[in-house]
A and B are shown apart, each in its own frame.
Chain A
Amino acid sequence: EAGVTQFPSHSVIEKGQTVTLRCDPISGHDNLYWYRRVMGKEIKFLLHFVKESKQDESGMPNNRFLAERTGGTYSTLKVQPAELEDSGVYFCASSQGAGRSLSSYNEQFFGPGTRLTVL
């Protein structure tokens, strides 16, 4: 079974440019999460999809970040325009099950992450 994949693995862009990160979850996983780790800090939650719906986007830093999951399969996270403080590693994770309570009990499988550097 293929794991969670993310593309690209690395991205280096200049401040003000746009970048789109992609995550392909494990097939059949309804839950898809985005997390970010800024250097030297903890991994922080960004948002949670259940199928194509945003369940929780409380961790999104600001309106420069836009996440989509059309059709409930892969997800994209767009940063526009990118700022220096957006640099970090962006992780995607997926899990089975749906619902606010059930989701808590399911193991999240993580992708390798996308390392974003904004110059």
Chain B
Amino acid sequence: AQSVSQHNHHVILSEAASLELGCNYSYGGTVNLFWYVQYPGQHLQLLLKYFSGDPLVKGIKGFEAEFIKSKFSFNLRKPSVQWSDTAEYFCAVSRYNQGGKLIFGQGTELSVKP
């Protein structure tokens, strides 16, 4: 069974549309949560992360994510997407005291039409 699940494989939006990408995980205990992005031809880079504290996390480029512990979810949002947001987005989890290894979801390809 998938331990980190991203709800959508491919999302197509028009510019200025709002974005929400779903991510659920199946681990109990303390987890750290991440969203990574891979723009075409570029490295994976960190968008945002949650370790503790305020469950609403703000990242780079206007992205934010909300950790809802009761739902084991960490959904990514952006109020208004741009063509330059076209990329593949990965949700990832690391479990406390396991050396930081990341467990990834299967990725969501976002295509933004100009």
Asked whether B97 lies within 8 Å of A100 as measured between CB atoms, the reply is yes
Asked whether A42 lies within 8 Å of B100 as measured between CB atoms, the reply is no
Asked whether B32 lies within 8 Å of A110 as measured between CB atoms, the reply is no
Cβ–Cβ < 8 Å partners of B94 in chain A? 104
Asked whether B97 lies within 8 Å of A104 as measured between CB atoms, the reply is yes
Query: Is A81 located at the chain interface by the 8 A CB criterion?
Result: no
B100's partner among A35, A48, A59, A113 (CB-CB below 8 A) is: A48
Query: Is B7 located at the chain interface by the 8 A CB criterion?
Result: no
Asked whether A55 lies within 8 Å of B99 as measured between CB atoms, the reply is yes
Encode A36-67 as 1/0 by CB contact (under 8 A) with B. 00000111110010100001100100000000
Cβ–Cβ < 8 Å partners of B77 in chain A? none
Q: Chain A residue with minimal CB distance to B41?
A: A112
Q: How far apart sit A101 and B48, CA to CA, in the bound complex (Å)?
A: 20
Interface residues in B22-39 (C-beta closer than 8 Å to A): 32, 36
Query: Is A91 located at the chain interface by the 8 A CB criterion?
Result: yes
Q: For residue B17, give the distance in angstroms from its CB to the closest CB of chain A.
A: 26
Q: Chain B residue with minimal CB distance to A112?
A: B43
A56's partner among B2, B44, B99, B107 (CB-CB below 8 A) is: B99
Q: For residue B107, give the distance in angstroms from its CB to the closest CB of chain A.
A: 7
Interface size class of B (residues with CB under 8 A): 20 to 34
Q: For residue B110, give the distance in angstroms from its CB to the closest CB of chain A.
A: 17
Q: How far apart sit A110 and B88, CA to CA, in the bound complex (Å)?
A: 15
B101's partner among A45, A91, A106 (CB-CB below 8 A) is: A45
Cβ–Cβ < 8 Å partners of A4 in chain B? 43
Query: Is B51 located at the chain interface by the 8 A CB criterion?
Result: yes
Cβ–Cβ < 8 Å partners of A33 in chain B? 100-102
CB-CB under 8 A for A95 and B44, given A41-B106, A42-B106, A107-B49: no
Q: Chain B residue with minimal CB distance to A110?
A: B44
Asked whether B44 lies within 8 Å of A100 as measured between CB atoms, the reply is no
Query: Is A88 located at the chain interface by the 8 A CB criterion?
Result: no
Asked whether B98 lies within 8 Å of A100 as measured between CB atoms, the reply is yes
Q: Chain B residue with minimal CB distance to A58?
A: B101
Cβ–Cβ < 8 Å partners of A93 in chain B? 44, 102
Q: Chain A residue with minimal CB distance to B38?
A: A110
Cβ–Cβ < 8 Å partners of A100 in chain B? 97-99
Asked whether B104 lies within 8 Å of A110 as measured between CB atoms, the reply is no
